[in-house]
Chains A and B, each alone.
Chain A
């Protein structure tokens, strides 16, 4: 795969940028060995992955936010990204459906393959990519329209339904999968912003599912929800993992432990450790990971 022009221009600049990056471990005050760039302990690779990410670097202007990360994301896997604030996990997540494109100063370098297809290839259409890789955001963000229109929006713009009946079916199925059908079936025409926070977030999940994506990215989906709503969303993630690949960014280590197969620990733009979730939380290999999960910083 050839990198596109954007990547090439970013590569030209990268030499200059690398020198200005400070050694990360010092900043945190952790007394552990500094992170070696590009070195990730644990099991970053998988067989026949959905996403194959190699030497990914992200720049915000001159700042290198993501430093040489390589990672595989398996099919129908739930992988969670954890790490202290500002460690780059959200930035990395947003590379997977090119949500960073709208930020002018953001440049992505490296190889990001979805089913062996470079998603940053210059002729790659982001609309198609986002139809395959859906996203749920930190704050529930339903459109200020009816519940029905929220779910139907994606299928409508992609032309997934030819008749009203088909669209109705998609809406019903999506709401059922998101566990919102029973609460919403009698008020499909009422405005979505009138739902509770937890319901809104499930609606956003239904909206993402409605396009029938292969991957769902979740950026701290429960951070604005109460524990009961969180539990419902987590149940949902478990159910959805049967049919989708799910990448979830979370600040809650308990949540990562509950929902994910593998956990990736990010630290100041580095991917420090990736392993089976149980392994990460019981016997982390890297000192930084251990410090973080035992609550010494972060």
Chain B
């Protein structure tokens, strides 16, 4: 009796300590989750704070009189004349209507700098398309120059320096007041390729480049990865050779991605003479990188198919092939798809190997096929982040937001597919 009571006492005393330990352990977990969430939150907040203005463009809307004398242009269909013509003159004239006092050569030059450098191209393009507009007055929505854009959007932000003269600042303030300078959704970002001028730079080229590259990667790595996984898991004999292969696939998954880039440069471009900077080569290199991920996750998915299902199929006389194709692969498919999508998401965010195969080039045109020079989203971020114009700072962050949106949707798709397909288990 006394023994039992003292034992209960010992247990009771140890209880306190045990509960304390448990509480401490839980606290560790909560702290870890908090840190993870906080860093994620800081990352997103920073990117959104920097990047949201990248989705806004600054425009200057002017009524421009396309005066043939000012432009030294009589016939907009004559290419010789067009190449010699001065398309800036009507822009300056249109601005002078707002500021009649500014008529010295220096002031004219300053006025002209308010409009982005592609303003004259807008006039030229519209005139070449519609020659009958000569000597009429048309409304144009020009991109404001980088400096004006920075001044309008970030005048109070110490991270940006204003590079407008006092005179120009006064003009811009007045034009903003008159609603001549306005802001709108940056459709150029999603409608055009890269440019040296931040106001005209778009992501479309990079998005299409990424898409083409991912298509190549998917087409190569998904069937190859699944075939390799099915063979290794279901058909390959268990011996030293398969062990060796298995170890090497795991090693491959740990190889730094830049080495795949070197391989692509040496083998596909150097040896096979494939063109540089093209999505085809990028896709092949990325699929080499993605393959081990897909193989490893597919093998895990195949392993997780219950042996009872195999036995059931074998029991009614299904051949090995039928067991695999009718039962194992369909049941392992959710896991295989999840692994593949996560592998693809990794590939989508990969930069280093693509730098080496030349996908870092400055490419203005939107690629039209697998053999056109192209760049991809993460490389575009890299290019813009290292550009000197201030306008690219916000564009880089905006591009990161687009990239992250793609990634998050891919991961969400993976989760959805897994939930959806696994329900029938």
Contact = CB atoms under 8 A, between A and B. Distances in A.
Interface of A: 97, 99, 102, 104, 126-131, 134-137, 139, 141-144, 153-154, 157-158, 191, 193, 204, 207-208, 210-211
Contacts of B318: 127, 153, 157
Contacts of B316: 130-131, 134, 153-154, 157, 207-208, 210-211
B246 to A, nearest CB: 16
A144 B315 contact: no
10 contacts: A102-B310, A129-B317, A131-B317, A141-B309, A141-B311, A143-B313, A144-B425, A153-B316, A154-B316, A210-B316
B311 A137 contact: yes
Interface in B323-356: 326-327, 331
Nearest to A104: B238
A191 B314 CA distance: 21
A127 B424 contact: no
B316 to A, nearest CB: 4
A139 B311 CA distance: 11
A162 B62 CA distance: 78
B409 interface: no
B317 A142 contact: no
A197 to B, nearest CB: 13
Contact of B327 (A139, A143, A207, A210): A143
Nearest to A132: B317
Nearest to A207: B316
A127 B317 contact: yes
Nearest to A102: B314
Contact-size category for B? 20 to 34
B77 interface: no
B312 interface: yes
B311 to A, nearest CB: 6
Contacts of B308: 137, 139, 141
Contacts of A204: 312
A144 B424 CA distance: 7
Contacts of B322: 157
Contact of B315 (A104, A135, A158, A193): A135
Q: Of A134, A141, A211, which is in contact with the most chain B CB atoms at under 10 Å from its CB?
A: A141
Interface of A is mostly: helix
A99 B424 contact: no
A201 B306 CA distance: 17
B425 A142 contact: no
A134 B315 contact: yes
Nearest to A125: B319
Interface of B is mostly: helix
A91 to B, nearest CB: 14
Interface of B: 237-238, 306, 308-319, 322, 326-327, 331, 424-425
A205 to B, nearest CB: 11
A210 B317 CA distance: 12
A158 B317 contact: yes
Nearest to A150: B312
Contact of A191 (B237, B238, B313, B424): B424
A134 B316 CA distance: 6
B314 A137 contact: no
Contacts of B313: 143, 153
Contacts of A153: 313, 316, 318, 326
A3 B7 CA distance: 68
Contacts of A129: 317
Contacts of B310: 102
A207 B309 CA distance: 13
Contacts of A207: 312, 316
5 smallest CB-CB distances across A and B, nearest first, come from: A130-B317, A154-B316, A141-B308, A135-B315, A131-B317
A97 B312 CA distance: 13
Contacts of B314: 99, 102, 130
Contacts of B306: 141
Contacts of B312: 137, 141-143, 204, 207
Contacts of A143: 309, 312-313, 327
Nearest to B319: A127
A127 B314 CA distance: 8
B351 to A, nearest CB: 42
Contacts of B317: 126-131, 154, 157-158, 211
Nearest to A105: B238
A153 B317 CA distance: 10
A263 B412 CA distance: 58
Contacts of B327: 143
Contacts of B238: 104
A129 B319 CA distance: 11
B331 A144 contact: yes
B311 A99 contact: yes
A173 to B, nearest CB: 16
Nearest to B238: A104
B315 A208 contact: yes
Nearest to B308: A141
A157 B331 CA distance: 18
A137 B314 CA distance: 11
B335 to A, nearest CB: 14
A49 to B, nearest CB: 23
Contacts of A141: 306, 308-309, 311-312
Contacts of A97: 315
A128 B319 CA distance: 10
A97 B314 CA distance: 10
A193 B310 CA distance: 16
A136 B311 CA distance: 10
Contacts of A211: 316-317
